Amino acid sequence: MSVDKIEKLLKFLPAEDYVLDSLKGETVWFSYLKNLNDPFEGNVRFSKLEREDVINVYLEVVVSKGGIAPAELPEYRKVLEMDRHYEGLVEAIGEIEKDTVRNIMETFSTFSCCRVMSGSSVAERTNEILMWAHYTKSFRGLCLDFDFHVLDKSLRELNGDEAMGNALINYEHEMYEVDFPKFMRNAIKPHQVGMDDYIKTAIFRKHSIWEYEKELRFLSGREGLFNISNEAIKGVYLGPNMDEKYREEVVTIFRSKFPYVKLYDVAPYGYGLNYKELK
């Protein structure tokens, strides 16, 4: 599925003060992966190695960094084949794997939305009961309707090089497996970012249980507020359980800063939702 077919994005938000501040400042918040609600964000698993592969990879890395001379390899191999030394080597590799996942989770930030494909109506997506329940704290929050193209362009143009593009989430039953020998060989090559492919795969891959979210993810290397165009938001849906005072604040912000944006009250209707535009 291509992002070219996306027209709109929906962002479900809780009724919190930081949301109001973000709207007033015409910004959106990018969160580090480690701060998202899925504990498996950015996780990968490494391929299981045979004993000989573990030793070969380690020696290759040490030689490449000038730790030992090639002529010394046979002697070092004998030492590493001893159980006590091999166990220490396996433990060291385990730490590399943990550091790799930690690096992904603490380096990359995202702003995530639900996609609305061309030919689909916004109403079809705002009717997502689970999204309202999970992300607006039991229908107390709101849903922003973004124009994908305006949002994407403004993130790129108003934030320098900090906005790093976007991609759709791939939903799979199995976690992405990294070939550890290949990973290490790429990582030690000079002037080469050998981790790009697996990083991108880890960031844009989630378990299939999340597939109902139909997520598109914007990417950056910084957590915080990012500027957007005041023309990026096209509609606002107010949850049926929203506090009246908070509702008044939201309406005031949009009437003053975004007068062209349509606002809708959301109400339960059967096992679905009904929308009434505010005049």
pLDDT for position 90: 82
SS3 243: coil
Torsion of CA 98, 102, 105, 107, to 10 degrees: -140
Q: Are 190 and 64 in contact (CB under 8 A)?
A: no
pLDDT for position 204: 93
Q: What average pLDDT does the chain have?
A: 87
pLDDT for position 195: 46
Residue 121 binned pLDDT confidence (cut-offs 50, 70, 90): low
Res. 116: pLDDT tops 80:
no
pLDDT for position 157: 95
Most confident of 71-80, 84-93, 110-119, 216-225: 216-225
Section 52-77 average pLDDT: 79
Indicate the burial class of 4 (C-beta count within 10 angstroms; 0-12, 13-18, 19 or more): exposed
Residue 119 binned pLDDT confidence (cut-offs 50, 70, 90): low
pLDDT for position 91: 84
Taking Cα atoms as reference points, which of 258, 257, 236 lies closest to residue 247?
Answer: 236
> How crowded is the C-beta side of 206, counted as CA atoms within 13 Å?
21
In tens, the pLDDT along 176-231 reads: 988 888 777 776 655 454 446 778 888 999 999 999 999 999 999 999 999 999 99
Residue 256 binned pLDDT confidence (cut-offs 50, 70, 90): very high
Reported pTM = 0.84
Section 19-32 average pLDDT: 96
Looking at per-residue pLDDT, the higher value among 128 and 229 belongs to 229
pLDDT > 70 in the chain, percent: 92
User: What's the DSSP call for residue 114?
Assistant: E
Res. 97: pLDDT tops 90:
no
Res. 237: pLDDT tops 80:
yes
